[in-house]
Structure 1
């Protein structure tokens, strides 16, 4: 293996508890039939440690291989960038060269020829569709003798016909769970005697789930015994011992602004994988609002969010579901009064019956959920406070008939607007883009964005990818902060407004 890969992949086992047995088991499964290309699936519930175990196996074994790649967050990255992007990333990493792959079927012959003589180690993390596996790694005979593939998934069905063995990750035993809790609550393995009984009670409550132990440890770290007792009492009074109850304790410890940020992330942004800098701008209450930076740091300290090495904000799905439940409880069984919409049933009913209200702050759905609806032109009039809107799809024909009578209104408050396959020739004449930060109308039927001039000072990204009927762009001279303009595959757009070339912050013009 190259020195480059040796430097890149190093073990991070310090502070990991209770994973030696699963690591040993998985390594033994991989080494069965050591001269064959083999695949092992790691299966279990969210928060149980699948990714952590896969990472550690990967780091410990990678030096034995000619090429290695850990492809993280396959489910979300595929949704965000598409499966071809992931396929190119995987094989570019393995071969250490910049590859372009334009098909879901198989591999270019020269790539297969190179791989056939290589012993590779691949981890595909968080796979939720067996089709992803067929596209990414195909038949195991793509790879040289001794190659190994590790796949993590929450869905056993995804793995069943695609791997040689499935390893189910179980909960930690009591001793390991106590060690893990101590490491997070006291930042050491030593436990002060007066906290021992309290710690045992907390570990019993957590039921050996690593994520729950970490969250409780962070929550109680540095707190006195009285607060520990109070939290234990609070745990007992909750209706059930579900993970939601534990996660809610971290939420309760936030101030009002931090709670608002958390719910925006849980119900809208966590699955968009945006960079921190964009999140800071999108969630500001005003131009001078600098509290978002502190709020995000607070959420990170509470283990409610994570920030990746490439500065992307993301959230564990168990924590996200806790956020969903909090919002559900605010509605008093009236979905129209929800502040944030993500549930397909709720969204379908609200849009079908035109029951939106100004309480709605965000709405995010796959277009397949609403593609059979015929929306009224005034569908968004009652949602005047809507700030974040995302109608997305992988099918360029979804949602083309949902506005048969056109659209009269979009809220002025909108900051994030993604509407893939937008079916009309332009945005409504009444629409004001002054608050927009990100505008994504990929694969739209637009001929022009809007008519007349707009204040575009806040605009950072405009994505019109694949809008094959687009004939002209508006004047962007007021878009002084624009960083990205994507007009690829806009086949009828033969020229662009000269104002674009006067904008000095544009980083990507494609």
Structure 2
């Protein structure tokens, strides 16, 4: 690739670009001597050179300063080469190509591109590779990793000094977060730069580091990666979402980390089925595929089976710890909505309208809709075109583990119950308390239960109850004495194969949103008149 650095020595770049002044006179004379196509070519060359970010001698006090700046520019450009570190990176070709297309869109303005996606989906990996491939096309570039963490640890001035020092290839010191010295503004303003700000938690961080963008040189580009789409909304020119890997790409990445090759060789055929289960578990999230592959590398089949069994009970700690910050960024209401979906509603294919009713705190509570949007923006849920809400398997596991950590010893004090053994322990020993908000269980996975008529009497705040899955009635004598009480707060009640002939007489259905008693013995909802 040719490198061109125009130097405008005692000439105005505007006159070069538009061929005014002495250029206009000279070119008019040339048109009399030379063929018109040749002169037109010269005009285009002058215009193109003036459009490049160059060096204007009028910005310097003397020729010594001008010469020093020219030498700095040349050395900087000659030392810049594209770096190819793509070995071992799977599934990045399409996002890289898409982002390169966005970077190369013709525009003299500064363009900002936002990259968005859930934690562990590969945003940083992709943008690092993109930076290495594209940096040589710019006069100066800087990659700032872990921006949020660096700002919290070192402060704005320190991080901003690092950015400016990298761009100008010298040690830059500033005294304030507001504004920049004129010489720095002048020097950066005439070069085309490329900046990556990775893992931004708030757009204020961008403004503190880069400012209003009008001081950056023509054609400069900035990329911002974030887990929260709202940060980027109305702030960037384009938002690019990073999605999960395809099943083939996921398999290739897992094999690379587990076997150090991108396919299952003959010597590893015994691991093929176990590998498929691991890949299916990860659901296309690169972080999970890498962690599991590296964890299992060199282990025998029994270790693989043991790890798979463990994953059914609890998520991998390394993955869980990396995912948790997304949850801690939520407010109290958003955390409740997130945990309700993770521990109860995910997989039920409910639409936004139903969740607005199910998750509101009171009749006039309209905050659920904005809460769902926040979760969507933070890549914690997805909302389909038909408004169905779902959650990625790995995110769901993170939420369930957080709920599990509420009270590992006293199960009755936990707000959300979904483990078959733990639910058996609570129900069989009548350990329920007012802390319990939801119970969801697959009846085919629970041991034989014999419950008393007042089993739910202590669970006054129970709102969501789901007994699903098939079981043999003769093996499960649920309620031999019937049921006397159901909490009046219940909003979602699904009870497959319910053994009751009717619900409790005093059960108030005033808050009930969804009722599913399919395949049950219920002949009428309640005896006598309902008490509201």
Considering only CA atoms, is the larger Rg found in Structure 1 or Structure 2?
2
What TM-score, normalized by structure 2, do the two folds share? 0.46
Normalising by structure 1, report the TM-score: 0.48
